[in-house]
């Protein structure tokens, strides 16, 4: 893996008998030695990965053309923020039709009751059973359900963020098709992170829920993050390892997918 640190100016002298390599800086040597020490037998350490506690795929609920795609890779979005809009023209036309049908059904409903002797301004005085039968015979219930369904489809044309987080893995394209069951992108909760790691079965007794661990990422080996074990697998894997998770406090240098070394604090 390439080093994340910046190299100094000029060219480092070549090592004897290895002209293709550059000499490591004292700082790089120190960090490398530190990581190796953490993984030595003198420390109860394990290599793991930083993960988000919540990674939410964003789906559409109806088929439609994307007319607004308000996200970019890595963009931070707030819960409830509008992320995607689908074309509404066909659904709005359908809603007008359904509302007209409901209006006609309502007229038929009133006509049925007035035909039974009830006055237009006192239809509510009719017994519930008679009004219920009138709604069925007039088609009012069916028309009302159709209007509500179409209104719901119109609401589905606007897709909002279910959680706050950063946008990742965008597959949707502006003016492309949105299809139910196919994720448009993901929203990753970057405020609630965890370190996932495995320990040997014979080390399990040293860990418990609440155990304090130190987390050092490969990207930033000079930074130590403190975490607390929050989950321990109830079973041992065939490899003899036990999976664990430790909750981390948010930090600008921590992101999901990072390789990390997790060390049990003495």
One pLDDT digit (tens) per residue for the chain, 266 residues = 343 343 443 433 333 444 444 555 665 565 555 555 555 544 688 999 999 999 999 999 999 999 999 999 999 999 999 999 999 999 999 999 999 999 999 999 999 999 999 998 899 999 999 999 999 999 999 999 999 999 999 999 999 999 999 999 999 999 999 999 999 999 999 999 999 999 999 999 999 999 999 999 999 999 999 999 999 999 999 999 999 999 999 999 999 999 999 999 87
Share in percent of the chain as helix, strand, coil (round to 5):
30, 30, 40
Domain count within the chain: 2
* Residues 149, 204 within the same domain: no
Q: Which two tokens stand for residue 131?
A: 């009004």
Is 134 part of a structural domain of the chain? yes
Domain that holds residue 145: 89-155
Is 51 part of a structural domain of the chain? yes
155, 178, 200 - which closes a domain: 155
* Residues 205, 147 within the same domain: no
Residue 212 near residue 263, CB atoms below 8 Å? no
Is 37 part of a structural domain of the chain? no
Residue 164 near residue 79, CB atoms below 8 Å? yes
Is 104 part of a structural domain of the chain? yes
* Residues 204, 142 within the same domain: no
Residue that has been written with the tokens 């390892």 in this structure = 241
Q: Which two tokens stand for residue 180?
A: 């139910």
203: helix, strand or coil: helix
Please report, for the domain that includes residue 48, its CATH number.
2.40.30.170
């Amino acid at each position: 893996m390439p080093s994340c640190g910046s190299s100094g100016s000029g060219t480092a002298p070549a090592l004897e008998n290895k002209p293709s390599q550059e000499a490591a800086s004292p700082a790089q040597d120190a960090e490398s030695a530190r990581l190796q020490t953490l993984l030595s037998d003198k420390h109860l350490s394990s290599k793991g990965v930083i993960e988000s506690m919540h990674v939410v795929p964003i789906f559409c609920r109806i088929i439609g053309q994307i007319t607004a795609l308000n996200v970019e890779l890595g963009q931070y979005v707030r819960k409830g923020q509008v992320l995607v809009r689908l074309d509404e023209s066909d659904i709005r036309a359908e809603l007008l039709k359904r509302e007209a049908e409901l209006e006609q059904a309502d007229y038929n409903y009133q006509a049925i009751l007035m035909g039974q002797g009830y006055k237009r301004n006192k239809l509510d005085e009719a017994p519930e059973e008679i009004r219920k039968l009138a709604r069925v015979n007039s088609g009012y219930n069916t028309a009302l359900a159709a209007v509500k369904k179409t209104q719901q489809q119109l609401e589905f044309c606007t897709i909002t963020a279910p959680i706050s987080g950063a946008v990742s893995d965008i597959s949707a394209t502006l003016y492309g098709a949105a299809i139910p069951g196919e994720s448009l992108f993901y929203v990753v909760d970057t405020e609630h992170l965890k370190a996932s790691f495995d320990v040997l079965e014979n080390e399990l007794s040293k860990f418990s829920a609440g155990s304090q661990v130190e987390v050092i990422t490969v990207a930033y080996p000079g930074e130590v993050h403190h975490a607390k074990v929050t989950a321990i697998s109830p079973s041992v894997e065939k490899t003899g390892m036990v999976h664990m998770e430790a909750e981390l406090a948010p930090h600008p240098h921590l992101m999901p997918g990072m390789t990390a070394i997790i060390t049990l604090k003495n």
